[in-house]
Amino acid sequence: MTVDAVVLVGGKGTRLRPLTLSAPKPMLPTAGVPFLTHLLSRIKAAGITHVVLGTSYRAEVFEQYFGDGADLGLEMEYVVEDEPLDTGGAIRNVYDRLRADDAVIFNGDILSGADLGALIGTHRDTGADVTLHLQRVEDPSRFGSVPTDETGRVTAFLEKTPNPPTDQINAGCYVFKRSVVEGIPAGRRVSVERETFPGLLADGAHVHGFVDASYWLDVGTPEAFVRGSADLVRGLAPTSALPGQVGDALVLDGAQVMPGAEVTGGATIGAGSEIAAGARIAGSVLFDGVVVAEDAVVENSVLGAGARLGKGAIVRDVVVGDGAIVGAGCELLAGARVWPKVSLPDGSIRFSSDA
Ligand code: GTP
């Protein structure tokens, strides 16, 4: 298909710290592969082959992993911002790599089932300057909302309010005419949401909405990251990059789950991990080389590479950094985060952010 894809992957991912201290958010292992691989599989499935990544934070990691993209059947290029330019600035910064008349821009941390062919078709049929994927959500009060008129034209970009007039929100995926990308100011920070879109409306540009209600999730927080990974494993979120069968759990090569251990709820067990008898892992993401001792419980949590859980330890809704040790009998709940390589002695801690 003769459009370019641009993926914005330069954010620092602060809400996912400490996991994002060692890897940028789009590279975090999600259902067995870097999160970005799932998005790239959708881009490829839509028939788009030229992909430009707008990078900043930990920029080198992307090219080291994906190279020229040939393994995925893509042609990938990388543009680095020395200083982060924010979303709009990042889009402008890749302008000279664009080849087609239109570019589809993706936030690199969204899981979505929207029909990209239909999004691009709408953009072309209406002749819009920019077409936004607008997602219908159950609780729009948590987001800014984007109303449209009866022809589908966007009429406003509204801030978060308790009673928004529409359930449509900006889903973080847009088709831009290349000429509109050129019009974004170069070389400085620009927010596409706060500056570019309202500016286009004020200038009378045709900004169109492609409204959709299929699967959509922003994986920016630990809870959402765990849910997104589990949804991919269970086949609820679309991907063609799952390194295994859709099912209740994904156990990667070289991981050992002992008889009597339970792995459920779309959990992923990373390569080389060891789960001892009596342990229960539900709906969680275990990176590579994690060790979980007998009778430990892991629910809706992320365990970084090489993390270790002692006998009978309990972690619920928790992030444990790379190489951290949670001693036997420790209990960590609701929002606790253990920094990489920290060691909590046996039985020492009962932590809950609600306590
Ligand atoms: P938080 O710090 O947790 O809010 O995450 P984030 O830094 O990723 O910010 P946010 O989720 O708002 O970003 C949305 C998308 O835009 C993500 O895919 C980011 O990688 C990307 N992004 C944000 N800021 C920049 C930037 O300055 N440059 C580039 N290239 N991408 C950015």
pLDDT in tens, 317-328: 999 999 999 999
CA distances from 170 to 92, 145, 304 (A): 19, 7, 31
Q: How far is Cα 180 from Cα 185, in angstroms, rounded to an integer? A: 11
- CATH 3.90.550.10 segments of the chain: 4-218
pLDDT band at residue 335 under the 50/70/90 scheme? confident
What value, to the nearest 5°, has the Cα angle with vertex 38 and ends 334 and 253?
80
Instruction: Determine the straight-line distance between the first and last CA of the chain, rounded to whole angstroms.
Output: 54
In the reported structure, the alpha carbon of residue 101 is separated from the centroid of ligand 1 by a whole-number distance in angstroms of 25
Query: Does residue 352 register a pLDDT over 70?
Result: no
The mean per-residue pLDDT over the stretch 230-234 comes to 97
Atom number of ligand 1 nearest to Cα 108: 18
- CATH 2.160.10.10 segments of the chain: 248-351
Chain-centroid distance, C-alpha 124: 27
Looking at residue 133, its pLDDT comes to: 98
Does ligand 1 lie within 6 Å of residue 9's CB atom? yes
Closest by CA to 191, choosing from 254, 245, 144, is 144
In the reported structure, the alpha carbon of residue 322 is separated from the centroid of ligand 1 by a whole-number distance in angstroms of 22
Instruction: Let me know if domain 248-351 sits in CATH 3.40.710.10.
Output: no
Q: What is the CATH number of domain 4-218?
A: 3.90.550.10
Q: Whose CA is nearest to atom 13 of ligand 1?
A: 11
To the nearest whole percent, how much of the chain has pLDDT over 70? 97
Query: Does residue 219 register a pLDDT over 90?
Result: yes
Does ligand 1 lie within 6 Å of residue 90's CB atom? yes
Q: How far is Cα 345 from Cα 268, in angstroms, rounded to an integer? A: 26
pTM: 0.94
State which of 27, 38, 94, 107 you would mutate to test the pocket of ligand 1, scoring each by most atoms of that ligand within 8 A of its C-beta: 107
Query: Does residue 316 register a pLDDT over 50?
Result: yes
Q: Whose CA is nearest to atom 10 of ligand 1?
A: 11
Does ligand 1 lie within 6 Å of residue 14's CB atom? yes
The mean per-residue pLDDT over the stretch 104-124 comes to 96
Query: Does residue 355 register a pLDDT over 60?
Result: no
Cβ 310 vs Cβ 292: under 8 Å? no
